[in-house]
Structures are given as C-alpha cells and as structure tokens.
A and B are shown apart, each in its own frame.
Chain A
Amino acid sequence: MQVRFSHISLAFTPDKDTLHDLNFTINDGELVCLLGPSGGGKSTTLNLISGLLVPTKGNILFDNQDVTKMGPSERKIGMVFQNYSLYPHLTVENNIAFPLKIAHWKKADRLARAAKLAKLVHVEDQLQKNVNELSGGQQQRVAIARALAKDPNILLLDEPLSNLDARLRMEMREEIRRIQQETKITTVFVTHDQSEAMHISDSVMVLHNAQIQQYSKPNELYDHPANQFVASFIGDNPLNTFDRSLLDDTELKEELGKVYDKATTVGVRAENIVLTKGEDTYQHGVRCKLLRSHRYGLISTRLYSFKGIELDATGLTEIHDTNEEVEIYFQKRGFFLFDASGNNLFLE
C-alpha cells in the first residue's frame, strides 16, 4: 500500500513543531528507513503513519484514501516495538495469535495462522515456549510474526534491532529484508544506525530538525548528500570538515572554480584522502604532516595536521614517517563544499 504525507506538521507544544511540513510518498511494496539521530522525530513520524498520533496539520493518504482521522486499528497496520512488547504471560504461539484472538478468530484458525507465520520467521520449533525463554533475536522474530498476523497493509518497525548485539543485528536485518521481500509488504523501518539503513532499505529518509533532510536511494545519500548534516551522518568514518578560508591561498581554490566563493565549509570523507593524484582526484593537493596512525583490525586510520586542524584519513597503505611533510589529494567523490546553511553546492 502506498503511503503519502501531505503538508504534515505535528506539535506536542504550541510553540514548536516536532515535525514541520513533511511531504513524501512511500511506494507500495518498498522498504523505507527513517534515519536520524535520537530526537529527530523518527518515532513521531512512525506513530503518525500508525495512527497512534494525529497530525496538527496536513493529510495522510493510504492509496489515495485519506486516513488522517482513522484510528490505528482501522488503518490495518502491524507494528514492532523496540523492546518487542511481547506479552510475558502468553506462549509464542498465543503471542503471534493475539491480534487474531482480539479479532474473534476461531481458535483452530488462529493457531493454524500462527503456525504458518512462525514458519515464515523461523520460530516454528519454539511455538509452545514462553516468550521469556527465547533469545533476543527469537523474540524479535516472534514480534514480527505477531505484527504480520492480521495481514496488515503496512509493517512498521521502531528501532527493532537496537536491543540486539552487533552480530545478531546484522543477521536480523537480513532476516527482516528476507521476510519483507517474501511478503512484499510495504515496510517502514526506524533506525538511528546509518549502516543498518544503508544495508536494508530501498529508500532512506533522513529526519533531523523537524524536517526531511534527504529522501533517496541509499547510495545516493552517500554519493550525493543534500547537505552537511547528511554528509556527516552517512558513512562509516566521520566527515572531516573545516573552514573554507583555509584553502584561500592554495591552488586547489582555483581548480574548484566559481562555486568556491559561495562556500563557507569544506567537507572531505576520511576514505577519500589519498597520497597520489589521479584521474578521480583534484590535481592540486594540500601539504600536511602526519601526526599519528592507528590500526584496528582491517581499518587503519591516520591523523594529519593541516594548518592547525586535524584530518582523519583511512585506507592509506603507503608508508611514510611521522612528522614528515606530504602532499595529500582529495578524491572528487568524497569532497564537498557547503554554503552557510549547509547545502551541498555541488548539487546545483
């Protein structure tokens, strides 16, 4: 089912909008991530879709039908909460069948349905167990099965993986992707973990400061971030940023052309700093000194000092001495200029 927000605003207190004038469409059968830092309004957006919250302004449409005034149960959605919210007094089977019991299904029918869903999420051998005998990942699976019990139009998941350890998180995000693709259900997935969002989704919506910062395909976020916030938020390494004026007396300035004058801030990804120039780099580099380097397993990082500021670089293999002056080059795909309000100037 397609979901559309049209000029949605929501204010918990009259003086400040928690969400301001949101417009977006989630296409039928897509898995969309709501991504952003804590307090960015992700859960609020999700609760607007579910009907647990009512917008202050604007309309919500499901397949062009206005559902703004409808309650959660009328909207036919399934929801998975961060701590799963499984009923501790019920078995796995009865947890999955709970929504059907509420809907007055016959016992045999609802247990049959529960068994089918348990198979889908791979907990068919746990049906008679109590939910607190299950591991975190299994509980997660049960919660998803329960959310799918009534064959909802939309599946909503609010930070479903954040209670799991790192390895299980990776396993479960693939599982969620698999289940979503098998059921082809329109899914909205909330997370504050950019790598999770990048791996799992068809599209990612970055929410921050009451607004959508960017809504696009995952790789697009990385390759063409709309603004400084998105550029810093996406990617495994931190974005190096510094004041544009530091480049004023370099030849790199000339190479960047007209757009340079509008910029106030420069951003460079750590993985796009290299020591030799090539076709994918700017032809002029900057001189800096190596301060120190570390290695954490696969990833080695170096800290260079450039005009009093520090630049992180990762993935460099050429060896040179600490304190030695070297020329570093910036690869174009990881180099950004931002104007005063943070917009990416290369996108214009």
Chain B
Amino acid sequence: MINQKISWKQTLHALLYLAPMMILLSIFFLYPIISTFILSVFKKYNFYTNAGQGIGFDNFAYLWHDPMFHQAVKNTFIFVLGVVPASIIISLGIALLLNRFSKVRGFFQTLYFLPYVTSTVAIAMVWTWIYHSDYGVLNFILKLFHLPPVGWLTDPHYTMLTLIIFSIWKNLGLNIILFLVALNSVPKQYYLSASIDGATPWQQFTNITVPLISPTTFLLTINAMIASFKVFDQIYVFYHNTAGPNNSGMTIVYYLYQKFYVENNYTVASAAGVVLFVIILLATILQNYVSKHYVHY
C-alpha cells in the first residue's frame, strides 16, 4: 500500500470524504476572504445590490492619507509589543513557579485558566470596575503606596496601558497551561546530568529549559501576536462603543469596525482588513524565519 502510486479514482474517493469540510471552509472562510479582497479595490460599492464600480487603489490611498488610520496602526503595534513579550515572560515565570509547587498547582491552574474560557466581554465588564477612577481596586492599591490616582478609562495617555495590562492578564491562563505541559515534557535526566556538571539553576534554565520548550514558546508567541493584532472586544467594552477618549484606543480592527458599521464605508473597511492581513502575514513569515535558528524540535 505504502509504495503504490495513488490512482485518480483513489484521489476522487478522498476528495469525496473531504467535500463536506471543504464546502464549509469555502463558505465561511474562503468566500469572505476573497470578497474582502475584491471589495477593497472597488471605487464605489452598493451594499444592498452587492454591485461594485471601478477598480483601483483609491481605498488604499485613502488609508495612506488618513491620520486616524495612522493612529490605528501605531496603536496596534504598541499593543502587540506591549502584550506579547510580557505575557510570554510572565506566564513562563508563573509556570516555573507552579511547576515547583506541585501541590497548589491544580488550584492555580484553574484560577488562571478561568479568564481564558470566560468571554472577553464579561471579563472586561468586571475590569471596568477594577479600573474605575474613584472606586476601582487598582487606584485603591496605588493609594496604599501614596501614588496619585490614575484615570485608567478616562485619561487618553493611559488608554493603551489600560488595554495592555488587561490583555496580558487575559492571556496568562492558556500560556501557563501550555508552558506547564512543555516544562513537564523535558526529561528530568537532563537536569540531573547538568547538575552533576555543576550547572546552577539559572544555567539549567538557559541551557536546557529554554531551548527544549522553544516550540511551545514559538507557538504561543505566534498565537498571542495574531490575537493581539486583532484586538477589539476589550476596547469596545471599556470605552462603551467608542475607541477611547480622543480615539486614543483606536486600533486597526476598531478602525475597520468603525468604517464598516458606523460610517458604512465598506470598501475602505475592506482595504483596512487587507492591510491587517498583510501585516500579520509578514510578521508570521518573520517569526518563522527567526524560529529556524532558535526553535529546536
């Protein structure tokens, strides 16, 4: 069987089995993606008749000149850079701690995992109370340390920080669980062997743990990065259907949402979607390239 050539009949057979999945994929993924690309190059478009007129790059030119879009791109990058490395490092740190104290592990695992399985919207609602300027827990803690209160949800200077803190916290659960799995799959004998050679805990961490869990680190980084590029829900909830004070929390997806649902400018929204697609694609390619050198499978 293994060394036989696959006949046309067999291929057809296989396609038949794959067909239901392929059809679903086409309807819900392929078709919208292609539509977005087409929409983004229409000069004019009627939503109700689904008819486009004129082909060109006007929509992209519009984005190129729109300061609001510049703001959105800048904020999105700040968000990704603020969330991804920090959430990876913090969750690895917590996973290492939990790995040491195996008794309390289950409890904390559940605790950290809760936010991941709860909807972002519900959690963000709770956090609007934590962030509240007058009654919020966060400002209460700042006060304990004699620090001035911060307008987390009202001061435009803090908008990105507010979003970043919340998102780091929200990402922890999944990251910790997967890091724990990875840490446990490193054979204990490597550590025994290294400790015989006199390796300090830090040397063991950098020389054994880090390279051997690198596939997980890579996966989580990509995952967190893609999710962060698409940040939207928490902004929507925190700032009650706006992009924050003075649009200080404007991100690419929020921009897209605004253009599509509020301004009904479908073609520009699609163009923004295409730009986001290209950004994520480039970032993923870059990471794949980097991983060739640093990830050990």
Contacts and interface: CB of A to CB of B under 8 A. Distances in A.
B67 interface: no
B24 to A, nearest CB: 39
Contact of A102 (B192, B199, B212): B199
**Interface footprint category on A:** 20 to 34
Interface string A48-62: 001010000000000
A161 B33 CA distance: 58
A50 B211 CA distance: 27
Given A89-B296, A99-B197, A150-B197, A52 B208 contact: no
Contacts of B192: 52, 81, 85
A52 B190 CA distance: 13
A81 B296 contact: no
B208 A87 contact: yes
A2 B71 CA distance: 74
B110 interface: no
Main secondary structure of the interface of B (DSSP, over half): helix
A50 B197 contact: no
Interface residues of B, number: 18
Nearest to B200: A102
Interface string A71-100: 111000111010101011100000000110
Main secondary structure of the interface of A (DSSP, over half): loop
A88 B212 contact: yes
Contacts of A50: 196
A101 interface: yes
A136 to B, nearest CB: 16
Given A81-B189, A83-B189, A88 B296 contact: yes
B193 interface: yes
A267 to B, nearest CB: 39
A152 to B, nearest CB: 9
Q: Top 8 A-B pairs ranked by shortest CB distance?
A: A73-B198, A89-B296, A99-B197, A89-B211, A72-B196, A85-B189, A102-B199, A85-B193
Interface of A: 50, 52, 71-73, 77-79, 81, 83, 85, 87-89, 98-99, 101-103, 150
Interface of B: 187, 189-190, 192-199, 203, 207-208, 211-212, 214, 296
17 contacts: A50-B196, A52-B195, A72-B195, A72-B196, A73-B195, A73-B196, A81-B192, A81-B193, A83-B189, A85-B190, A85-B193, A87-B190, A89-B214, A98-B197, A99-B197, A102-B194, A102-B198
